[in-house]
Amino acid sequence: MCLRSKYMPAGGDEDWQQSERADLQWSWLASTEPDQLGTLQFQAKGETPQKLQFFSDGKLQTAAGDQASWQLRAGQLELSQQIGAQRLEETISFSKPNLRLRNVLIWHGDQLIAAQFCSEIRRVSRSVA
């Protein structure tokens, strides 16, 4: 389950633009190529799967061919992509085995133009004894 909220910093504290709940499915597809780590595939119910291909040099590529970079440190995955004058920064924190916190910042130069926070809770089934 995912609860995603979008906020535009130009508004006041009560100016949430959108809040939605969705079920997301994630999977990791390991690569056999020496310079590639693998592909992360994720999909919301009823939507087309999205893929990110991770390379061992800290680069990543979307299915559309867009380039970005990644870095893993202290329980966080940091993704960064420059698109013209805008820069997208996403941090995924692995707080607990079943909880991920995602924060997205979109910058135009030095000005923050959008922010998004998302908490993702993975459903955990009890084992049958």
Domain assignment present for residue 69? The answer is yes
Which domain CATH number covers 34?
2.40.128.20
Domain assignment present for residue 127? The answer is no
Domain assignment present for residue 126? The answer is no
Domain assignment present for residue 15? The answer is no
Domain assignment present for residue 83? The answer is yes
Q: What is the pLDDT of residue 80?
A: 94
What's the number of domains the chain is made of? 1
Q: pLDDT tens digits, residue range 75-99?
A: 899 999 998 899 999 999 988 888 8
**Domain carrying residue 69:** 2-9+20-121
Q: pLDDT tens digits, residue range 90-123?
A: 999 988 888 889 899 999 999 999 888 888 777 6
Domain assignment present for residue 72? The answer is yes
- Extract the tokens encoding 60: 């990543």
pTM above 0.75, yes or no: no
Task: For the chain, give the mean pLDDT.
Answer: 82
Domain assignment present for residue 105? The answer is yes
Residue 1's pLDDT band, with cuts at 50, 70 and 90, is: very low
Domain assignment present for residue 75? The answer is yes
How many Cβ atoms are within 10 Å of 63's Cβ, its own excluded?
13
